[in-house]
Structure 1
Amino acid sequence: MPFQPELERSLAHELAGHANAWPFVEARALEKHLGGKLPEKGYVLFETGYGPSGLPHIGTFGEVARTTMVRRAFELLTGMPTRLFAYSDDMDGLRKVPDNIPNKDIIRPHLGKPLTQIPDPFGTHESFGHHNNARLRAFLDSFGFEYEFKSATQEYKAGHLDKTLLKVLQHYDKVMEIMLPTLGEERRATYSPFLPVCPETNEVLQVPVVELKPNEGTIVYKREDGKLVETLVTGGLCKLQWKADWGGRWDALDVDYEMSGKDLIDSVKLATRICRTLGGKPPLNLTYELFLDEKGQKISKSKGNGLSMEDWLRYATPESLSLFMYQKPKTAKKLFFDVIPKTVDEYLAHLASFGDQEEKDQINNPVWHIHGGKPPMPEAHGLGFNILLNLASVCGSDDKAVLWQYISRYRADATPENSPILDQLVGYAINYYTDFVKPNKNYRVPTDQERAALVDLAAKLGTKAADTSAEDIQTEVYEIGKTHGFDNLRDWFKACYEVLLGQEQGPRMGSFIALYGVSETVALIEKALAGEDLSA
């Protein structure tokens, strides 16, 4: 990608032109935004921003993953060359000491300075900003993202923003007209789009500007001690305030596409006006919804509610997380532990169906977007996360080898060596079972109706061969539920889960019994009916 032969290029454009997957909807909107023409700079620029006062997190992953999905869709649609900048705002002044760092005392004397001027509390890099930037790059690299890293400090000091800074100076009054109505009375009194860097302390100053000298490219500002200081706005001696900085960056870099969260809607509007005031063309923007915790409240890094990147990757693959990010970006979604099993199995289902789909359907399949058009071959074992989770549950084991004994009997052709995805899932399922299922197991005694049905189930299973198919077993379980008068068969299956597995939800019983074993399931039912402790 992009396609080179003209026939392939035409076919790709036709397919992408009718695809209804949201990245293609965005790609077509971007093509229209560009007037169908390649920008003069010779490429289409996608951008994501990062505030390096903290470490990269699950929101960082989501923004880069989603932007990459749109980028790949756009490449297929148009064949135009693209670039993705991961831009770090590392010239911002640090306003408070983060809670999650060591050696806080070495940070406090440097508050107010750019992050790249503050000592690294981890002791590994030349500054706190450099440390966090390195973490960002390692983070993005670990997921295989294709991007170019940009440091605000380097961009300002190298003069890449000088032209835009001079335009802000020339249009100073217009920028102020945009910003002042959005500020409180006290902030309006001292606000300026320019933040000078004090030559004596290296602090990023929020001070009033008392004189503008556009012809000289300078401003005169008033320090807290009353002294007037004249400084160039270029060469890294000043930086722009946040919203002016965002709009100025769009102008300076000629950004074509950037997405941002719902909480930044007003900032996008202001940055858009500022960019236009400077003579630039604002990028196409997608506003995505924010994540919610299990109580429906917005996830906050400071509160620590919700799910972290490390949490997800303990229980599931990065690809499953990409699927979660792919799904309905404009809809608020609960991001908590209980979404993981379902998301993993959905990813496996999409991957399994990809090879049998026509091209027009493949590009609407989420795995096309997750893997940049080249998803891996699925492993034809038919085992998902939920069924492995319940196997771990009924075995009560945190040993992968124990689970593999059952898997190998169910699928003699599957081994940890030739089924690495399945082997990963086994480990993830054990972790999830140990942390979430095992502590909450709650077995109950069956009702008379349920007892009779379970007795019947054990008897019927006792007549089945060990290699009876999951479908035949499922049919038998289903028929027993109807025979014993369960008006709603969900109640029958729920009884199986609660009595045999100690949980309210569970797997497709036919598949589970085929994997766990017919005779083993009969023994499990008999123990439950005898009142034995199944949690042991």
Structure 2
Amino acid sequence: MHWSDRIAQEIIRRRPDKEEYVCAAGISPSGSIHIGNFRDIATSYFVVKALRRQGKKARLLFSWDEFDRLRKIPVNVAKIARPEGERPWDEYIGYPYVDVPNPYDDGCPNYAKHFENEFEEAMERFGIHMDYRYQAEMNRSGKYAQYVIHALKKRGEIFDILDSFRTQSAQEGERENYYPVSIYCPHCGRDTTKILSLSDDCTVAEYECACGHKGTFDFTKDFNCKLAWKIDWPMRWMYEGVDFEPGGKDHASPGGSYDTSRVIAKKIFDFEAPIFQGYEFIGIKGATGKMSGSSGLNLTPDTLLKLYQPEMILWLYAKSEPTKAFDFCFDDGILRQYFEFDKQYNDFMEGKGDEFLNTVMANCLLETGEEDGRPVYRKIETVPMSLLVQLGSVVDFNVPMLETVFGKIGQPFTYEQFKDRLDRAKYWLEQCSPENVNRLRPYRNWEVYETLNEEEKKEIALLHDYIKNGGYDLDELNQELYAIPKKVMGELQDPKELKKIQGQFFKNVYRLLIDKEKGPRLYLFLYAIEPEKYVSLLDFSTPMTEEEKQSLIKEEPAPEETEKKQVPLGDPDPVEPIREEIDIEEFSRMDMRVCKVLKCTEIRKSHSCYKLTLFDGLKERVIVSSIKSYYTPEEMIGKKIIVIANLKPARFSGVTSEGMLLAATNNACGCQVIFVDDIVPEGTRIC
């Protein structure tokens, strides 16, 4: 039995007479929603489908936790410069996501909506339809007001429950000063408030904010507040009547969020917590660990859809127990995954699948309708991805040529059959595995040819004549490739020795044609390509051409990128006179600080400037400096420099610069940045 069916049976057993079951999932739009978060949705989605297979009505409820506070700025957002005069990104820490500006010029009203739309559009491509809840609207409309007041009245009991799961004892007075709600300050917009007192009926609070603002908050009509996570979660279970919700292994750990919230749900909100399923996090091939929406790793469902068909992504989740980790592959493991998926899909469509396989496929395939009470699925053409990659790279993914090639090798796939995988094959090959791109050489490879012995040269000549004469079919070509070494070497008694010689022959052909020692199956490769395109590369009967001679001229190796860039030295500049005197007050207005270089990146279309991201002891800042001709990024990253920190911001090469580094510039030495010993802390003032 599939794991989703086991969970569905348990849901029904607990509440057998419920009219409609609710399976929930939820994510904070902290950044681009990553494929690791998608397991939250996939797990609930499969349980919904299992409930429906058992004749029950069920829906998938998805909560956008957009009313959560912004905790940190994702890497890809931090790179986006704020408009001139607008506050920097880090000043929005503590705001709810819906009140943070949209980083992108796409018409979305706020930060949260941009990432919500990005994800919801991807879900449509999976055929997954959800009942969305937007928690900012739910809170600010007052729908939760009575439950917020209820939690305030029960705050002592809530504290005791939370305290029972802690390893450290509560401090004196901590229970009396505990409030399970955060108020967003109307003055600064952040949740940096502290409740000072609460009325006897728990409806009015006096509070103060870290920004200095003080005020009164009436929970019966002021709704810009939010319950703490472990109270908010069970409150929403009760409000929505949730029957099932999964969560990551951090929530699932003993004494974790679910255990705590389950007790709060029962004792505070008189609701039996939903069935919970913990799940392992998803990795990528060669990497492990939790994916974070704010880490900068932009592995979104939309990104994966450039590599995998939507059914395959769902298939990977469906065939794995939630507690088992698995990888998405960016190496040639993806070709094995396509092969396995195709086999299971074909077995399913031909009625050869067992109960588990049939359930996996029913969970992952996209339904397009119904016929005789049974679902109709989107048809998938199982054109071998490995073959599409191999042959596609040879003909540069030209569609008519691909159709011709497939026909010539006895597998006459048409564009209509392979179009859904064509762009994915090309994307994987060019973006993830460029070393596997096969390109015919423009000229004969004399350098390799001269290293061959006489027998090996005879083998190449025989192959050339055979290809030139033509008149063979695919099987005959395959037989000839293995026969050519026998013709040159004679019948060998040792099969291992023959296999070794044949392998070397194949390797020599690959090197002469595509500059590699291996490639696509040689007989397919030679049969698929028009002989006129490569037969000349096997003909060494004529002298070397001028073009071939030029191609053999070795270019001087480029200097290592990490080497310091050479600066023309010349006579020192004339020493300029000392400028007019200033007093100490004028000097003290200049704020020079020690800053550490965190990043050093090139600026598009700028020939001389780098964009430096620095830490000045208080926050990150960006400066633009014209040192590109003198330093590589690697020479700058991690170094400490001196920056004029209170210089009025200016815009250079499309980037706003918040300061200027100190450097000595002279014709005798070029530009030499003034570096500071690493022992000096960031933020130290130069005086």
Alignment TM-score, normalising by the size of structure 2: 0.60
Note the alpha carbon deviations across 1:77-132, whole angstroms, 9 max, x for none.
x2111111110111123244444334534564554332223333435233333333
Residue matched to 2:633 = none
Say whether residues 1:192 and 2:167 are aligned partners.
no
Structure 1 position 44, deviation (Å):
0.6
SS at match of 2:40: helix
Residue matched to 1:375 = 377
Structure 1 position 165, deviation (Å):
2.5
Say whether residues 1:340 and 2:334 are aligned partners.
yes
Contact 2:348/2:357 (8 A) holds in 1? no
Task: Give the Cα separation in 2 of the matches to 1:508 and 1:161.
Answer: 64
Contact 1:354/1:362 (8 A) holds in 2? no
Contact 2:22/2:61 (8 A) holds in 1? yes
Residue matched to 2:671 = none
- The AA in structure 2 aligned to 1:52 is P
Contact 1:259/1:287 (8 A) holds in 2? yes
Structure 1 position 195, deviation (Å):
0.8
SS at match of 2:377: coil
Residue matched to 1:26 = 4
Residue matched to 2:316 = 324
Residue matched to 1:11 = none
Structure 1 position 251, deviation (Å):
2.2
Aligned sequence identity (%): 19
- The AA in structure 2 aligned to 1:391 is L
Say whether residues 1:433 and 2:415 are aligned partners.
no
Once structures 1 and 2 are overlaid, which stretch shifts more, 252-261 or 350-359? 350-359
Task: Give the Cα separation in 2 of the matches to 1:310 and 1:386.
Answer: 22
CA separation of 1:284/1:451 partners in 2, compared to 1, >3 Å: closer, same or farther? farther
Note the alpha carbon deviations across 1:267-306, whole angstroms, 9 max, x for none.
2222222222222121222222112344433244444458
CA separation of 1:211/1:388 partners in 2, compared to 1, >3 Å: closer, same or farther? same
- The AA in structure 1 aligned to 2:350 is D
- The AA in structure 1 aligned to 2:35 is I
Residue matched to 1:80 = 56
How does 1:305-454 map onto structure 2 within 5 Å? 305=297, 307-328=299-320, 329-338=322-331, 339-357=333-351, 361=355, 364=358, 366-371=360-365, 374-379=376-381, 383-395=383-395, 397-411=396-410, 414-416=413-415, 418-419=416-417, 422-439=418-435
Task: Give the Cα separation in 1 of the matches to 2:532 and 2:362.
Answer: 40
Residue matched to 1:296 = 287
Q: Which is helix-richer, 1 or 2?
A: 1
How does 1:416-495 map onto structure 2 within 5 Å? 416=415, 418-419=416-417, 422-439=418-435, 483-485=495-497
- The AA in structure 2 aligned to 1:401 is P
Residue matched to 1:276 = 266
Task: Give the Cα separation in 1 of the matches to 2:339 and 2:470.
Answer: 28
CA separation of 1:378/1:506 partners in 2, compared to 1, >3 Å: closer, same or farther? farther
Task: Give the Cα separation in 2 of the matches to 1:335 and 1:28.
Answer: 26
Structure 1 position 346, deviation (Å):
2.4
Say whether residues 1:120 and 2:96 are aligned partners.
no
Structure 1 position 515, deviation (Å):
7.2
Residue matched to 1:8 = none
How does 1:159-170 map onto structure 2 within 5 Å? 159-170=142-153
Residue matched to 2:122 = 139
Residue matched to 1:10 = none
Say whether residues 1:252 and 2:252 are aligned partners.
no
Contact 2:126/2:311 (8 A) holds in 1? no
Task: Give the Cα separation in 2 of the matches to 1:337 and 1:363.
Answer: 25
Equivalences, count: 501
- The AA in structure 2 aligned to 1:288 is Y
* Structure 2, gaps ≥5 residues long: 367-374, 442-447, 487-493, 549-687
Residue matched to 2:615 = none
Task: Give the Cα separation in 1 of the matches to 2:118 and 2:34.
Answer: 10
Note the alpha carbon deviations across 1:54-86, whole angstroms, 9 max, x for none.
13232343432332122112210x211111111
Note the alpha carbon deviations across 1:430-462, whole angstroms, 9 max, x for none.
2322334444679999999x979x98x979x98
Task: Give the Cα separation in 1 of the matches to 2:536 and 2:275.
Answer: 59
Residue matched to 1:55 = 32
CA separation of 1:406/1:464 partners in 2, compared to 1, >3 Å: closer, same or farther? same
Task: Give the Cα separation in 2 of the matches to 1:245 and 1:383.
Answer: 48
CA separation of 1:383/1:72 partners in 2, compared to 1, >3 Å: closer, same or farther? same
Contact 2:21/2:243 (8 A) holds in 1? yes
Task: Give the Cα separation in 2 of the matches to 1:451 and 1:292.
Answer: 46
SS at match of 1:141: helix
Task: Give the Cα separation in 1 of the matches to 2:103 and 2:12.
Answer: 44
Note the alpha carbon deviations across 1:158-184, whole angstroms, 9 max, x for none.
343334324322321222123342789
Contact 2:98/2:110 (8 A) holds in 1? yes
Q: Which is strand-richer, 1 or 2?
A: 2
Contact 2:153/2:202 (8 A) holds in 1? no
What RMSD over aligned residues (CA atoms) do the two structures have, in Å? 4.8
Contact 2:32/2:300 (8 A) holds in 1? no
Residue matched to 1:5 = none
Task: Give the Cα separation in 2 of the matches to 1:525 and 1:483.
Answer: 30
Task: Give the Cα separation in 2 of the matches to 1:507 and 1:125.
Answer: 47
Contact 2:408/2:528 (8 A) holds in 1? no
Greater C-alpha Rg: 2
Task: Give the Cα separation in 2 of the matches to 1:270 and 1:439.
Answer: 51
Task: Give the Cα separation in 2 of the matches to 1:110 and 1:304.
Answer: 18
CA separation of 1:97/1:219 partners in 2, compared to 1, >3 Å: closer, same or farther? same
CA separation of 1:451/1:51 partners in 2, compared to 1, >3 Å: closer, same or farther? farther
Alignment TM-score, normalising by the size of structure 1: 0.75
Task: Give the Cα separation in 1 of the matches to 2:223 and 2:535.
Answer: 74
Structure 1 position 248, deviation (Å):
2.0
Structure 1 position 495, deviation (Å):
6.4
Contact 1:294/1:334 (8 A) holds in 2? yes
Note the alpha carbon deviations across 1:373-420, whole angstroms, 9 max, x for none.
6433343xx64111221223444x24333323202333575321x42x
SS at match of 2:128: coil
SS at match of 2:358: coil
Structure 1 position 492, deviation (Å):
9.3
